[in-house]
Amino acid sequence: MKIILSRKGFDSSAGGVPSPILPSSRLYSLPIPENPVDSRPDLSYRGMTANGVSAGDLVLDLTRGKVKPDQTPHLDPDLDYNSVPRKAGWKPLFGQAGAAESHLQKNGVKEGDIFLFFGWFRKVELVKGVYRYISNAPDLHVIFGWLQIERRIDVGPCKEIPDWAMDHAHCVRTKHSNPDVIYISRETMHLPFHGIDKSGAGLFGKFDPRLCLTMQNQNRSIWQLPGWLRLEDGKKKGLSYHRSAKRWTVQNDFTRLATVGRGQEFVLDCDEYPEAIDWLADLLSVPTE
């Protein structure tokens, strides 16, 4: 099994601001704005909700109007059944393309492997009906969702895509990248040596320290990882895109990692790090409500 740390949601170039940690402590990953050429006329930030909170209100307030409520979001990963209207048979899914997808295939990502989606988050408050970032609240990289792969489908030919998936962002494109695929989730999670009662994909509920990758009082790109996750004189490959020993520092019972500024998919091989399965099981025990 492989675990893929997948960077998604608003960033400094797409959206331009962090996704919010709401006053209720709930995480709301804001999908990046869609390319106008590939926009779906029936989908907008205004039409997306999570626990009664409108994505349209959030993008309008937090970007100070730079992203409009009526713009189309690139809803990917698509993990929440209740976020928009669905066709019968819908399942969570995630699309990837181009160099990022080639990287996944180069690292042997396949059925049964697990994506952990993380993004840039910051705490917000609601003041006189307007959402705003809390002054001096830290910028954090936080894990907000997961998906275990049941099936990978090449969307270029569009021959095997289920009808319920045809309105996904990677399927409605007018021009496909090479490669261009969707990953459909399992119904239920399966972890070796763990009897875990969890859906094959979903969103975490409220912020939990176990979901936070960023080291306390550090730039968000400096991560605090478990002590077992380290490079050992070339004996292990470690996390893809992070195979320079200069990025890793062992500190007491944890490992400090200076992450790369670019890249979407970071792959960890659990054959090299069997401790990762227990770590993942602990993450999946974080409440989703």
SS3 36: helix
Closest CA to 7 of 100, 72, 133: 100
Residue 134 CA to residue 139 CA, distance in Å, equals: 11
CA within 13 Å, CB half, 51: 14
Per the domain annotation, does 234 fall within a domain? no
Name 275's Cβ contacts closer than 8 Å, sequence gap at least 6.
Answer: 226, 228, 229
As a whole number of angstroms, the distance between CA 273 and CA 228 comes to 8
Show the DSSP H helices in 66-142 as ranges: 98-106
229, part of any domain:
no
**Domain range enclosing 87:** 2-208
The count of domains in the chain is 1
Encode the chain (289 residues) as per-residue pLDDT tens digits.
999 999 999 999 899 999 999 999 999 999 999 988 777 888 999 999 877 789 999 999 999 999 999 999 999 999 999 889 899 999 999 999 999 999 999 999 999 999 999 999 999 999 999 999 999 999 999 999 999 999 999 997 667 899 999 989 998 877 778 899 999 999 999 998 888 889 999 999 899 999 999 999 999 999 999 999 988 766 788 899 999 989 999 988 999 999 998 889 999 999 999 999 999 999 999 988 7
Q: Is residue 163 part of a domain?
A: yes
State how far the Cα of 137 lies from the Cα of 174, in Å rounded to an integer.
Answer: 40
On the CB side of 114, how many CA atoms lie within 13 Å of its CA? 25
Query: Is residue 158 in a domain?
Result: yes
Q: Establish if 242 belongs to a structural domain.
A: no
Q: Please indicate, yes or no, if residue 247 is contained in any of the structural domains.
A: no
Q: Does residue 46 belong to any structural domain of this protein?
A: yes
Please answer whether residues 145 and 79 qualify as being in contact, where contact means their C-beta atoms are separated by less than 8 angstroms.
yes
**Position 240 in a domain:** no
